[in-house]
Amino acid sequence: MSTYTQTSVHIVFSTRDRAPVLTEARREELFRYVWGILKNKHCHLYRIGGYDDHIHILTALHPSIALADLVRDIKVASTSWIRSESVFPGFAKWQDGYAAFNVSADDRPSVIEYIKNQESHHREEDSLAEYKRLLAIHGIDADREYVK
């Protein structure tokens, strides 16, 4: 018997203190690096994107991987890569937490489009407002001490 899963997760996390250091010129390199991490963990990447201070990842979570472990591994490896390659001057670290939302197969195309359009989206809404809105949409009552 085989294991069959469909566990799509939209992950969002930001730089520490939402520092706007993820410059557009090198952001794609970061996205490719994170894609490599996901491939090594046998997770399928549907879309990755972001803006100056945060990233969005839509991935199919492999059944052998715990979400918290995956996010930790992405943050640790990408932090090491950013520092060793001097990719984003001023990058200190990622925020301690993250948000993750289940995404149904039917909703996946709209989330992919949402992630694709981060650049234009953030002309209208800053990343903190976006984060709070996403939490609210998914019924998460976040502790105000940690959502800033």
CATH code of 124's domain: 3.30.70.1290
Is residue 142 situated within a structural domain? Answer: no
The separation between CA 72 and the C-alpha centre of its own chain, rounded to angstroms, equals 11
Is residue 73 situated within a structural domain? Answer: yes
Is residue 24 situated within a structural domain? Answer: yes
Is residue 143 situated within a structural domain? Answer: no
Nearest to 101 by CA among 114, 89, 118: 114
Is residue 74 situated within a structural domain? Answer: yes
CA distance readout (Å), 28 to 23, 35, 45, 93 = 10, 10, 14, 18
Domain extent for 125: 8-137
Q: Could you give the number of structural domains in the chain?
A: 1
Nearest to 131 by CA among 28, 45, 11, 7: 11
Is residue 110 situated within a structural domain? Answer: yes
pTM: 0.91
pLDDT in tens, 6-47: 899 999 999 999 999 999 999 999 999 999 999 999 999 999
* Average pLDDT value over all residues in the chain: 91
pLDDT in tens, 66-83: 999 999 999 999 999 999
Is residue 1 situated within a structural domain? Answer: no
Is residue 21 situated within a structural domain? Answer: yes
DSSP 15: B
Q: Residue 47 and residue 32: Cα distance in Å, rounded?
A: 11
